Structure 1
Amino acid sequence: MLMRQKGFSIPEIMVALVIGMVLILGATTYLMTNLRASRDIVAQAKLNQDMRVIMDLMTRDIRRAGYYGTATDTANFAQLFRTNTGNPAFDAATSDNNAACIVYRYDLDGNGALAANETYGFMFSGTDRTAYLRQASATGTNCSGSKGASGTVDWLALNDANQIEITRVQFCYVNPATPNDIPPASCNTFPTGTAIQAIAVILQARLTGKPDSTLTLLQRIQLRNLPTAS
């Protein structure tokens, strides 16, 4: 005797397909959300790491300002050049265009004489969204000169603005009367001819194109050699 075969009807198959597609879509959405979250966490960690490396570089080098090996050339070494005259151009989006450059000297070879490659510094360009390190080949005591990511430029880029934008750098005088005022209520100008004990550095950056990822670092740098301001 022949048995009639039974199977799924077309409506049942359609319902099963729809349910399967919904489950797949949900799983895919969950996976993509996790991937984006992981990518953002990695990018934020990179921002944090890169900015701390830059701050550490600034701290370690600025702390050397004013050092000289002997007392034969103290006038040249014991100076800080922090002026707006030679600062780069700033655009309207820059939060603060003051105190964004510092130039200083220290006796790298310990011979007590000022050499051409013993003037150092850092500066910030709001237009480039980049912080720069002064190379040994640079001349003068201001922020003029060529800028770039590599090569024989006067100022060497410390960040890639295509990935990380630096939005604020300030070098401020720390008044001994308020040594813990970090960040200062206002970025104090450097006094002339007065031994400077400490400098406040404010570094602010974000992931390029992501304003909500802003990171701000504050650092008080105690100067070991008490240079004066020019």
Structure 2
Amino acid sequence: MNGQRGLSLIELMVAITIGLIIVLGAAMMILPINQTTTSTTRASRMNTDARAMLDLFTNELQRAGYQSPAADNPYIRIQEDGNCIVYGYAENPGSAVLWHAFRFNANTRQMQAVYNRGTPPAACSAAGLPWMSLTESNALPLRSDGFSAQCPSPGNILRIQLRFEPQDGNSLPDQTLEIQPRNTTCTAS
């Protein structure tokens, strides 16, 4: 006989057990890394969404009053206890003022906007306004009191504050944005 011999059943089972222990150990090390990556990605997305929304507020509200005839009297007006901002501007010299608004819907915890209205809305809660969502409550978790706007001194500065709800261990610090209107004044009604 030649001296060749295979593995016994016991040797094979021991080798498989050692291999499984090594694979399980590697999986246990990879799982927390995957969870950390997911958490970091979610926090980064929340931060990016918040920054994009604040940039949108800044760009739009600094345009308020742009190229408007004095008779149209465009303004930035804070309504509904600071939960809504109405503003207007003309896109081109001599064209009609288009009215826009941002509001916080506390029921859905979403920021919403309405654009290009021929007349300013009398109230942001008025029926029939075509509000569109700027945020999703699961992507940018605003608290039920998550938005407020104020004109601390009439005309000079508009202050917007966002407050976030912690979500899955991630939370954003509250954000305060101060906007100085270039072409009009800020008033509260």
Q: Place the TM-score, normalised by the shorter chain, in its bin.
A: 0.7 to 0.9
Matches within 5 A, 1:1-230: 11-71=10-70, 73=71, 76-77=73-74, 79-84=75-80, 98-111=81-94, 115=97, 118-137=98-117, 140-145=121-126, 154-167=130-143, 168-175=146-153, 194=154, 196-205=155-164, 210=167, 212-215=169-172, 216-229=174-187
List gaps (5 residues or longer) in structure 1: 85-97, 148-152, 176-193
- Distance in 2 between the 1:7 and 1:228 partners? 87
TM-score (norm 2): 0.79
Q: Is the Cα contact below 8 Å between 2:158 and 2:186 reproduced in 1?
A: no
Instruction: Indicate the SS of the match to 1:56.
Output: helix
Q: What are the superposed Cα offsets for residues 51-109 of structure 1, whole Å, 9 maximum, x if unpaired? A: 111110001111122334343x15x31x333222xxxxxxxxxxxxx412111222333
Q: Is the Cα contact below 8 Å between 1:65 and 1:223 reproduced in 2?
A: yes
Q: What are the superposed Cα offsets for residues 11-65 of structure 1, whole Å, 9 maximum, x if unpaired? A: 5544433322111111112223222222222222221112111110001111122
The one-letter code sitting in structure 1 at the alignment partner of 2:83 is: A
Q: Is the Cα contact below 8 Å between 1:64 and 1:224 reproduced in 2?
A: yes
Instruction: Indicate the SS of the match to 1:109.
Output: coil
> Percent of aligned pairs with the same residue?
24
Task: Quote the RMSD (CA, aligned, Å).
Answer: 2.9
Q: Is the Cα contact below 8 Å between 1:130 and 1:161 reproduced in 2?
A: yes
List gaps (5 residues or longer) in structure 2: none
- Distance in 2 between the 1:32 and 1:201 partners? 40
Instruction: Indicate the SS of the match to 2:169.
Output: helix
* Number of residue equivalences: 184
Instruction: Indicate the SS of the match to 2:29.
Output: helix
The one-letter code sitting in structure 2 at the alignment partner of 1:203 is: L
Q: Is the Cα contact below 8 Å between 1:51 and 1:205 reproduced in 2?
A: no
Q: Is the Cα contact below 8 Å between 1:129 and 1:165 reproduced in 2?
A: yes
Whichever structure has more helix as a proportion of its residues is 2
* Distance change in 2, residues 1:110/1:200 (3 Å): same
- Distance in 2 between the 1:162 and 1:173 partners? 30
Deviation at residue 162 of structure 1 after TM alignment: 4.0
